[in-house]
Structure 1
Amino acid sequence: MDLQISVFLLFILFTAGHSLRCYECNGLTGSCVGQTVQTCPSGYSQCESLTGVTQIGDITSKEKFKGCAPVCRSGSINFGLVRMTTSCCNTDLCNLQDAPDPSNVPNGKKCYYCDGQTCSKTLSCSGDEDRCITATATSGGQTVVVKGCVSKSFCDATTSVRNVESISCCEGNLCNGAQSVSQSFLFFCCSLLSYFLLH
């Protein structure tokens, strides 16, 4: 009997003490050189790797992030000015490889996107972006809207986004309808991307 109890206690000790470990980096210059290893906090069950590209006029910047996530969705999002891809996994140090650069190869799907003034411009979706997305939030009494292309995996998210009133996805070309916006959306767009990074 003592042997069974000892084996049981050893099992609990080894399984309860193991936390997921992921590579971590904040590559604001487009590189994850010098990444470190992070032990994930309780409730964080996945490792994530993200590559984001922002293009404003002729200026393009690339960011790479890695770390622990409570929930992670592999896929891509394109809001016109901001595009990103994420890769998710759930074993120790499985996020060694960077998420791929967002695809530039059109897949035939088209969605509306917002440029800060209007949401009537069209965007050619690429890669696995097979849905159109519309998200709205209220900031300082004004409604902020972002639209674009997204992978189905992001549309399946069930957790709510802080300060976001609604997120909706649809499947047909230009199904996310054109509408004007009352405020620049760049701040909201970054908040929405950080939601996908951290949830």
Structure 2
Amino acid sequence: MQLCGVLVLFITMTTVCGLRCYTCTATDPRSCIDAKSCAVIFNRCFSIRVEGYDLVTKGCQTSALCVAPIDCCEGDLCNNTVLTGPSFIVLLVSLAVVTQFI
């Protein structure tokens, strides 16, 4: 019974605390498993890959600062490693171009 109470408290606190994003600076995007609740001023999660250094940074951001090369998304933990939207389209186009030259 105490476990159920703890789970309800955790779910309630997660909802009250607002947006949650993965946060890290790492060379492997799959290693970004730490998540935190964002401050009230942040309404987006972000990911940015630093080319040449093979580095990925993830965290919380405001929509006003979501400009290229920063990839922003809405919703809890949306900045995971799954390719969606524009990233997926870029991957498909790149794959099509590469297969034309092979």
Q: TM-score range by the shorter chain?
A: 0.5 to 0.7
Which residue of 2 is the match for residue 65 of structure 1?
Answer: 57
User: Where does the alignment leave 5 or more consecutive residues of structure 1 unmatched?
Assistant: 1-12, 55-60, 77-85, 104-199
> Quick check: which one's strand share is greater?
1
RMSD between aligned residues: 2.9
Identify which of structures 1 and 2 has the higher relative contact order when contacts are C-alpha pairs closer than 8 Å and 6+ apart: 2
Which residue of 1 is the match for residue 76 of structure 2?
Answer: 92
- TM-score w.r.t. the length of structure 1 is 0.31
Which residue of 1 is the match for residue 3 of structure 2?
Answer: none
From 23, 28, 31, the counterpart of 1:31? 28
> Quick check: which one's helix share is greater?
2
The AA in structure 2 aligned to 1:69 is: Q
* Partners of 2:75 and 2:23 in 1: CA distance: 14
Cα distance, 1:73 vs structure 2: 2.0
Deviation track 1:141-167 (CA, whole Å, cap 9, x = no partner) reads xxxxxxxxxxxxxxxxxxxxxxxxxxx
Alignment of 1:32-47 (within 5 A): 32=29, 33-47=31-45
Number of matched pairs:
71
Cα distance, 1:66 vs structure 2: 0.5
Which residue of 1 is the match for residue 46 of structure 2?
Answer: 48
* Partners of 2:32 and 2:80 in 1: CA distance: 12
Alignment of 1:1-199 (within 5 A): 17-27=16-26, 30-32=27-29, 33-54=31-52, 61-71=53-63, 72-76=65-69, 86-97=70-81
Cα distance, 1:34 vs structure 2: 4.5
* Partners of 1:69 and 1:52 in 2: CA distance: 17
* Partners of 1:98 and 1:46 in 2: CA distance: 17
| CA distance 1:97–1:46, shift in 2 (3 Å) | same
Percent identity of paired positions between Structure 1 and Structure 2: 24
Which residue of 2 is the match for residue 133 of structure 1?
Answer: none
- TM-score w.r.t. the length of structure 2 is 0.56
Q: Greater Rg, structure 1 or structure 2?
A: 1
User: 2:42 aligns to what SS in structure 1?
Assistant: coil
The AA in structure 2 aligned to 1:95 is: N
User: 1:75 aligns to what SS in structure 2?
Assistant: coil
User: Where does the alignment leave 5 or more consecutive residues of structure 2 unmatched?
Assistant: 1-11, 91-102
